[in-house]
Amino acid sequence: MKLKVGLLGGGSWGTTVASLTAKNADVTIWARSEETVNEINEHHTNHKYLPGATLHKGLKASTSFEEVVGNADVLIMGVPSQHFRQVLLDAKPHIRPWIPIVSLAKGLELGTKMRMTQIIQEELPGHPAGVLTGPNLAKEIHSGKAAAAVIAMVDDVIAKELQDIFNSGVFRVYRNTDVIGCELGGALKNIMAIATGMGDGANAGDNTRAALITRGLSELTRLGTAMGGKRRTFAGLAGMGDLVATCSSSKSRNHHVGFQLGKGKSLDEIIEEMNEVAEGVKTAKAVMELSKEYDVPMPISEQVYNILYEGSSVYDAFKGLIQMESGSEAEPG
């Protein structure tokens, strides 16, 4: 028998994962919008977030938490990090005991600075919590282009079972037991994507982009390992892989935010024009708090934060980075 999967969140990535897993499982997706739900059920499309894409015909949709998660063997959380806790709490009365809960979000909760699996463990103790992450641009994957991801759970036996749900043709899914490293890699790289986007928007050049990506990897690895992640994780799909994809692609929401900032637009203007959430904008606040808490210098993240929240210009940021004294490559800066 096919496993029953409930997925909460009808954005581009949530819908893509739901459509992919519908090849291997009985999947029902929850969306807040009745219009979106009707479109998925009647036309097998979600034009708002995946224009031109046709979804798997077996995928069902509902606005009812009970209908989506009441009989689910696995719950997938495809909602942005700042809404993650509330949606989980709304669904909680209908979630069966002990089922695995997998996060797709790549961010940190403001205020608590918590990872999504920590929120799961706090609100639903006893449920195995994991994350599906990696260099995954939704529109490319839905169009059938090859991609790889990683499912991270402390219990590798459960991860192996979930691996079979997510694996789908040219979408290859690997396993990792380093949940902390995989989650932090996904969250921290969004800030670097904003930085490289700013460089691209300001026409800083390919050399600048390469330097930002490389030094960005060093920066996120420093904080990630200080917080308990394993160094090798940041050299893998959840770290370097996701960083390269997000920092190099115009399809990346965080790169888009940075690009428009580099072109001179204000953050408010950019957010107003976007359909979906760029996680790095909010995560930048949490990361600067963590940088201080763990005493880990993060110069690129700091400059991004200054542009987003302190009124600095893109020119000020690049000037600040260039003026930093350069030492050993293993050191900050």
Find the catalytic residue in 48, 57, 113, 189. 189
Q: 107 is written with which tokens? A: 């961010």
As a whole number of Å, the CA-based R_g of the chain is 19
Strand partners, 303: none
Distances in whole angstroms, Cα of residue 292 to Cα of each of 226, 229, 299:
12, 18, 12
For residue 229, say whether it is annotated as part of any ligand binding site: no
273 burial level (CB within 10 Å; 0-12, 13-18, 19+) = exposed
* Active site annotation includes 145: no
Report the C-alpha gap between 111 and 93 in whole angstroms. 25
For residue 276, say whether it is annotated as part of any ligand binding site: no
For residue 251, say whether it is annotated as part of any ligand binding site: no
For residue 78, say whether it is annotated as part of any ligand binding site: no
For residue 109, say whether it is annotated as part of any ligand binding site: no
For residue 57, say whether it is annotated as part of any ligand binding site: no
Report the C-alpha gap between 180 and 282 in whole angstroms. 19
3-state secondary structure of 84: helix
| 14 Cβ contact partners less than 8 Å away, ≥ 6 residues apart | 7, 8, 29, 76, 78, 79, 104
For residue 280, say whether it is annotated as part of any ligand binding site: no
Distances in whole angstroms, Cα of residue 104 to Cα of each of 53, 84, 133, 152:
20, 10, 7, 11
For residue 138, say whether it is annotated as part of any ligand binding site: yes
Give CA 21 to chain center in angstroms. Answer: 18
For residue 150, say whether it is annotated as part of any ligand binding site: no
For residue 279, say whether it is annotated as part of any ligand binding site: yes
For residue 293, say whether it is annotated as part of any ligand binding site: no
Give CA 240 to chain center in angstroms. Answer: 14
| Helical (H) or strand (E) element with 174 | strand 171-176
Q: How many CB atoms lie under 10 A from the CB of residue 322?
A: 9
For residue 12, say whether it is annotated as part of any ligand binding site: yes
Contact 210, 199 (CB under 8 A): no
For residue 11, say whether it is annotated as part of any ligand binding site: yes
Give CA 310 to chain center in angstroms. Answer: 25
Give CA 161 to chain center in angstroms. Answer: 22
For residue 38, say whether it is annotated as part of any ligand binding site: no
For residue 172, say whether it is annotated as part of any ligand binding site: no
For residue 81, say whether it is annotated as part of any ligand binding site: no
Q: If we measure between CA atoms, which residue out of 306, 251, 301 comes closest to residue 280?
A: 301
Show binding-site residues for substrate: 106, 253-254
Show binding-site residues for sn-glycerol 3-phosphate: 106, 134, 189, 242, 252-254
Show binding-site residues for NADPH: 12-13, 32, 49, 106, 138, 253, 277, 279
Catalytic residues: 189
Show binding-site residues for NAD(+): 9-14, 138, 253
Show binding-site residues: 9-14, 32, 49, 106, 134, 138, 189, 242, 252-254, 277, 279
